[in-house]
Amino acid sequence: LAKTTQPISMDSYEGQEVNITCSHNNIATNDYITWYQQFPSQGPRFIIQGYKTKVTNEVASLFIPADRKSSTLSLPRVSLSDTAVYYCLVALRDTGRRALTFGSGTRLQVQP
């Protein structure tokens, strides 16, 4: 399984853009990159998934360079409610073939 490395924690202020980078040097050709968000006392929640280049949805953007050895989750104009733990996962998009492995995640603290 591809191992991921991401910062343990990050601090930001409301209204700023936050970029969380994840390294996955051993990503396989068929692997996708998926990000989850987790609030205290809740299960993780899917944010975004991508394979290459850029993916954007109503919550975030995901930037993946050509070599796919890293990815960056971008949260535009964060608010206090974005304070959470963010997990980067690398796995086959077809989850029916392999379980998703979570790392320790990045704890984002947004301050007023």
Partner 1 sequence: GAGVSQTPSNKVTEKGKYVELRCDPISGHTALYWYRQSLGQGPEFLIYFQGTGAADDSGLPNDRFFAVRPEGSVSTLKIQRTERGDSAVYLCASSPGLGTGELFFGEGSRLTVL
Q: What are the residues binding partner 1 (CB under 8 A)? A: 32, 34, 36, 41-46, 49, 85, 87, 91-105
**Closest distance to partner 1 from the beta carbon of 5 (Å):** 13
98 Cβ partners below 8 Å, 6+ apart?
1, 91, 92
For residues 107 and 8, the answer to whether their CB atoms sit within 8 Å is yes
**Closest distance to partner 1 from the beta carbon of 73 (Å):** 15
**Closest distance to partner 1 from the beta carbon of 98 (Å):** 8
Whose Cβ is closer to partner 1: residue 43's or residue 112's? 43
Whose Cβ is closer to partner 1: residue 37's or residue 70's? 37
For residues 2 and 58, the answer to whether their CB atoms sit within 8 Å is no
Residue whose C-alpha is closest to residue 76's, from 91, 89, 93, 57: 57
